[in-house]
């Protein structure tokens, strides 16, 4: 448990995303704040589209996507661009998109707000190298992660989630928000 909390930098609704180019330009412009404030260059996106769910790495000013993943406004349901420093969250509500940016910031004098990080193991039983890690299971499904891993039976892909918590007036803990923090391959 850490006595840090997040700063909500911006939030809003969008009505002017009419094409895949509009969406990509908007995402790159707003995701730049994460790259600038992150202590590492590891910035990722989790994209939920009508036809696919993908993790991708953000490199410079481009989304490296698979050929079957189109970022058009009619197909995207939700996108989370994340780094260790914060997250840009874009989601669909009916025909409109809403968004928010959270950046981590230390607030040492506020004892009522804190965050807890949880590491989740992603399902799978096979890791492959070559710059991306393929987590494959005998169910015929796979997840391609944009992190390098050394193939072996003791390696596991993980995703870290940060939960922002506070105490309410009755002293009970409540969740204010949650965000993705990082992807990794760990060997045990």
Predicted local distance difference test score (pLDDT) of residue 107: 43
Least Cα distance to 84 among 156, 180, 185 occurs for: 180
pLDDT at 131: 61
- Tell me how many degrees the CA angle 52-58-64 measures, rounded to the nearest 5: 50
pLDDT in tens, the chain (188 residues): 444 555 556 667 776 777 877 887 788 777 776 766 556 568 888 999 888 788 888 766 566 555 556 677 788 899 999 998 889 999 988 888 888 888 876 544 466 778 899 999 887 666 665 566 666 666 666 777 888 776 666 777 889 999 988 888 898 999 888 999 999 888 77
DSSP the chain: -BSEEEEEEEEEEE----SHHHHHHHHHHHHHHHHHH-SSS--EEEEEESS-EEEEEEETTEE---TT----TTTEEEEEEEETTEEEEEEEETTEEEEEEEEEEE-TT-TTEEEEEEEEEPP-S----TTSEEEE-TTS-EEEESS-----TTEEEEEEEEEEEEE-TTS-EEEEEEEEEEEEEEE-
């Amino acid at each position: 448990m850490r006595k840090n909390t997040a700063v909500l930098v911006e939030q809003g609704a969008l009505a002017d995303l009419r094409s895949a180019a509009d969406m990509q330009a908007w995402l790159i412009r707003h995701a730049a704040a994460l790259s600038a404030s992150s202590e590492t260059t590891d910035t990722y996106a989790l994209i939920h589209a009508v036809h696919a769910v993908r993790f991708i790495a953000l490199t410079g000013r481009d989304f490296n996507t698979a050929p079957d993943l189109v970022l058009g406004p009619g197909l995207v349901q939700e996108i989370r661009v994340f780094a260790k420093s914060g997250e840009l969250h874009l989601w669909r509500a009916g025909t409109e998109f809403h968004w928010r940016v959270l950046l981590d910031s230390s607030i040492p004098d506020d004892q009522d707000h804190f965050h807890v990080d949880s590491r989740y193991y992603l399902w799978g039983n096979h890791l492959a190298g070559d710059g991306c890690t393929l987590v494959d299971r005998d169910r015929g499904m796979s997840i391609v992660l944009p992190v390098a891993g050394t193939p072996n039976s003791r390696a596991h892909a993980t995703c870290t989630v940060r939960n922002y918590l506070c105490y309410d007036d009755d002293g009970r803990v409540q969740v204010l928000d949650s965000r993705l923090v990082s992807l990794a391959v760990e060997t045990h």
